[in-house]
Chain A
Amino acid sequence: DQQVKQNSPSLSVQEGRISILNCDYTNSMFDYFLWYKKYPAEGPTFLISISSIKDKNEDGRFTVFLNKSAKHLSLHIVPSQPGDSAVYFCAAKDRGQGNLIFGKGTKLSVKP
């Protein structure tokens, strides 16, 4: 059973507008959440993260929001740029072993 879910396989956004990528999780023992970006034929690269004790973390155009009561987090990209087009993976860190559990990813397309 999936512990980290990204229910939207794809998202298309116009350049300059906001992109919102969503992620849901089921395990209350996750203590850290991360977003990775992946281009085809490359490995994932770390984008932004948030501790479970916070509800928001911002880094330039990227903001991650965490709603613990809803077990939901989201990544906001504003303004979106064509270079942001990639697959975005949500990941959660298990408090025990410290390993990451990934969602299936959302493919973002930013159109000029």
Chain B
Amino acid sequence: EADIYQTPRYLVIGTGKKITLECSQTMGHDKMYWYQQDPGMELHLIHYSYGVNSTEKGDLSSESTVSRIRTEHFPLTLESARPSHTSQYLCASSPPYPSLNEQFFGPGTRLTVL
């Protein structure tokens, strides 16, 4: 059973605000990911991390930033939210080699920027 948590689950915020989406996992997984998904569309990888102090940009360009100071924590920050950032944000982690094919997802944060 995967234990990966995201807060908040829902967030409605005004344009220009700074926000941080939290993601934590208790499985000790090194690799973690952030995806962005709009209804009826694929999940787009926006950030990932191989472990502590590692952050990489994903396939989809994003104005958000991430940090990885602790293995279990992978927060995503938007310095100035805009309506175009409205989307669902999904955090995931994967177990170490050799079982690193699967990714375990959190419940997601539904972000609405007014």
Contacts and interface: CB of A to CB of B under 8 A. Distances in A.
Contacts of B40: 9, 104-105
Interface residues of B, number: 26
A89 B42 contact: yes
Q: Contact residue range for chain A?
A: 20 to 34
Contact of B105 (A4, A45, A49, A101): A45
B107 A46 contact: no
A100 B110 contact: no
B51 interface: no
Interface stretch (A12-20, A36-44, A58-66, A71-79): A36-44
Contact of B45 (A32, A34, A99): A99
Contacts of B84: none
A82 interface: no
16 contacts: A34-B102, A36-B105, A41-B110, A43-B6, A43-B107, A44-B90, A46-B102, A49-B101, A89-B42, A93-B101, A98-B31, A98-B100, A99-B58, A100-B103, A101-B45, A104-B40
Closest 3 CB pairs of A and B: A43-B105, A102-B43, A102-B42
